[in-house]
Amino acid sequence: MRVVEIFDSIEGEGIRAGQTASFIRLAGCNLRCSYCDTRYALYGEKEECVYTEMTPEEAAEKARLRRVTLTGGEPLIHEDVQKLIALLLAQGKEVNIETNGAADISRFLSGDKGLFFTIDYKLPSSGEEGRMLWSNFLKLRPRDVVKFVVGTDEDVSAMLKIVLRLKSELRDMPHLFAGAVFGQYEPSELVRRVLENEALREVRVQLQMHKFIWDPDSRGV
């Protein structure tokens, strides 16, 4: 496996925000979002992607904490990631898979309650909305998370349509989170838009906590 970094920190956003976790960041991604903040984990960018080859066993051994987040890049495009997930679960870890909505999650679904997904729905300003696999979102469970990253007013309108569609097609809703593209869209405006749309009032507005604690461009945090 091509591992960019493994580090211990706190979750900066999502259902475990503020909780300690070990992060395993894998190299490579099948998307190129306009606002990507981990381009150093992608191939073919201006900034070279530096990684270490590890076996799933080696990567699992370095994840010291009970909570583990698999991220990237896009972790689910790695050939051996299913084995890594199984190893972590066998160790009693609680595993959060951060995935971009364009990688099929079917073979990674597990009845193990220690595993959940945080899945991005890419809104129009990402440039990748057309790559979303709607089948992914229909497989989500109440313990999973759908995350929206808002960069424009158009994104808010798109988010509203997606939330309404999820409510109409799912019996049990996953958690819904929304955040603003850092430095591009005002969080206060996102809050205002959430308040004025009744269908969005179950969405939890979040900030990327790690970007306020450390320098926004810092790695390994």
The whole-angstrom distance between residue 20's C-alpha and the CA centroid of its chain comes to: 16
- pLDDT tens readout for residues 55-110: 999 999 999 999 999 999 999 999 999 999 999 999 999 999 999 999 999 999 98
In a domain, 218, yes or no: no
In a domain, 147, yes or no: yes
Give the whole-angstrom CA distance, residue 118 versus residue 194: 20
How many independent structural domains does the chain possess? 1
- pLDDT tens readout for residues 166-189: 999 999 999 999 999 998 999 999
In a domain, 72, yes or no: yes
Q: Which residues of 126-150 are buried (b: 16+ CB within 10 A; e: fewer)?
A: bebbebbbeebbebbeeebbbbbbb
In a domain, 149, yes or no: yes
Range of the domain at 58: 2-213
CATH assignment at residue 101: 3.20.20.70
SS3 215: coil
In a domain, 221, yes or no: no
In a domain, 219, yes or no: no
In a domain, 36, yes or no: yes
The whole-angstrom distance between residue 6's C-alpha and the CA centroid of its chain comes to: 16
